[in-house]
Structure formats: structure tokens, C-alpha cells
Amino acid sequence: MWHGKPWTSAFSFCGRRCGVCLFFLLAVWCTFFMLSDSLFSFHRGGIWRAYFVATPEMWDSIHRHGQSSPGGIWKYDQAKMEANHAVRYLFRKTYSTLLDVSCNVGFTLANLLRRHPTAKHFGTDISRVMVEETQRNCPRPNCLAAQFDLGRLQDIGSAPMLREAWPKEEPVPEAFDVILVSDVLIYISWGGMPPFFLRCHCCCSVFRSWALSYQKTFLENIASLASDEVVFSQHQNNIVVTTMMRDLNVHFDEERGVWRLPGKAKRNATA
């Protein structure tokens, strides 16, 4: 039986179970802020689900909802493409091979291929639906797409798994000149933690600290797959991405409006 004032009793009760109470309160608070930012997405196939658990099957379901639009669920079009700092930067950059690790419907790859017709372009996506759309919009032989869950790169020694996404007979290099990472980091489950725990602005620093070691391994792995650099889109400019980039000393190129990470692979490494 509790004694004293109700508030005193309540805090005493929570004090004996502080870990559970703190976790519950943070989860409720973060969920509120995440949903307040993301309610707009309910009409686009339930994108909000990706903040809780992101499986290939779930993303297939989400993307099927947007197949009626040439730009997919994100409504990509030429105006959005030309406003994208990372794409504008890559339009002017010289490279022989490029990998887009979240290729979606292949709209970005198709535009890059038109600007760099002699370069080889590759794309991966967690969704088989998107891989098939990419291959239609950016056809072979200068564009090859494969299914791969980018979150796997947060495990130590996992970099070779990305190359294994393609059959061995495909002409895919061991390393790419440039890797593009665009609008995907906020959906990765860092260290097994649902993405919504990292999304709010007020109370999730403890969860972002937990995720940091996994994010560091991810950056090391993806840098090992690029011989020139990894380019991260600036319009991922949210608290999850900016905290990750700044805490791990990734350079933000203010002139070009992109995050840039030097590649660590040897040049011209081919299968």
C-alpha cells in the first residue's frame, strides 16, 4: 500500500523500477515526435512502418503502392532531380563506375547514365520491387541492379557481402569509383534498434550514442568499397544523419552541399 502524497508515492514506485520507467517514457516521447514528423506519409503506402521495422517484404509492400507513379512513392521528377545537391555534384564529376546504394526506381541512375554514358552504373535496394523497377528504367548493360539490405554493412567484415548481391558472372567491380548514399540512413536499424528511437530531437541522445559504434563500422565498410569517395545527399539533413556525420568526422562540403567520405579501396579493383 502506498502512503503519503500521490505524486510522492508515484515517484517512489518509479524509482524502484527506474530503468523500465525511463525506457517507457522515452519510447512514448520519441514515438510522439516521430509520428508528428511523419503523419504526412500515411497516404504513401504506410512509409511510417519503416521507422519501426524495415524488412524487404515491408518495403516491397510500400513500393507497390507507388508503382503507378513514374517517380515511385517519393514522386521523383526532373525538377527534384536537378534540385538535389548530390546529383548536381555527380553530374559534373568524372568517374568510371558508380554505385547508388538506395536506387529506388532508378530515376537517379538513369539521369546519371545520360550524363555519363560510357560509365558503368550499379544500384542496390532492399526491395526486390525497386530493383526490378530500376532495371526497367536504367537498362543493361551499363546499369546493373541487385537486391541488398544496406543495414548489413554495420557488421564488422561485411563489406564483401555487397559484391555478392550480384551473380559471380556479372561484370561488377570489387570496388566502385563513387558510391552514392541518398535518403536511406534514417531507415536503418542501427544495432537492432528501431529507427524511431533515433529520430526525435529532444530525448534520444542516449540511443544515438548506442548506435554510434554500428554507424562507425558502416562508414568503414562503405568507404572500403569506394576508390574515390562516398557521397551522402545533403537533403538527409536531419538529426539522425547530422549527428552521425559530425560525431564520426565526415566532411560536409558547403560549396557543393554534400557530405563526402574518402574512399579506401584500391583503384581499378575488378572481379
Contact 163, 172 (CB under 8 A): yes
Q: How far apart are CA 239 and CA 29, in angstroms?
A: 16
CB 101 within 8 A of CB 179: yes
| Residue 8: all three cell numbers together | 510522492
Instruction: Name the burial class of residue 114, with classes exposed (0-12), middle (13-18) and buried (19+) by CB atoms within 10 angstroms of its CB.
Output: exposed
28-42, 67-81, 192-206: range with lowest mean pLDDT: 28-42
Share of the chain above pLDDT 70, in %: 75
Residue 219 lies in a domain: yes
Confidence at residue 11, expressed as pLDDT on a 0 to 100 scale: 43
Residue 56 predicted with pLDDT over 80 = yes
Which residues, other chains included, contact 135 with Cβ-Cβ below 8 Å and sequence gap of 6+? 106, 143, 144, 145
Domain annotation covers residue 14 = no
Q: What is the pLDDT of residue 89?
A: 96
Model confidence at 36: pLDDT above 70? no
The answer to whether residue 3 is domain-embedded is no
Mean pLDDT (the chain, rounded): 81
Q: Which of 93, 110, 239, 85 is nearest to 178 (CA)?
A: 93
Does residue 19 form part of some domain? no
Any domain includes 39: no
Q: Is the predicted pLDDT of residue 4 greater than 70, yes or no?
A: no
Task: Give the model confidence (pLDDT) of 223-262 as tens digits.
Answer: 999 999 999 987 555 778 888 999 999 999 999 999 999 9
* Structure confidence at residue 20 as a pLDDT band (50, 70, 90): low
Domain count, the chain: 1
pTM: 0.80
Q: What is the pLDDT of residue 53?
A: 75
Query: Which residue's C-alpha cell is 506519409?
Result: 41
Q: Is residue 149 part of a domain?
A: yes
Range of the domain at 155: 49-262
More confident of the two residues 166 and 41: 166
Q: What is the amino acid identity at position 227? A: S
Mean pLDDT of 79-102: 91
pLDDT at 28: 52
Q: Residue 154: give its domain's CATH number.
A: 3.40.50.150
204: confidence class by pLDDT, cuts 50, 70, 90 = low
Task: Spell out the residues 6+ positions from residue 269 whose beta carbon is closer than 8 angstroms to its own.
Answer: 173, 174, 175, 227
- Specify if 69 maps to a domain: yes
Q: Does residue 250 lie in a domain region?
A: yes
Q: How far apart are CA 108 and CA 102, in angstroms?
A: 10
Q: Where in the chain does DSSP place strands (E)?
A: 97-100, 120-125, 143-147, 176-181, 226-233, 251-253, 258-262
Q: What is the mean pLDDT of residues 36-65?
A: 67
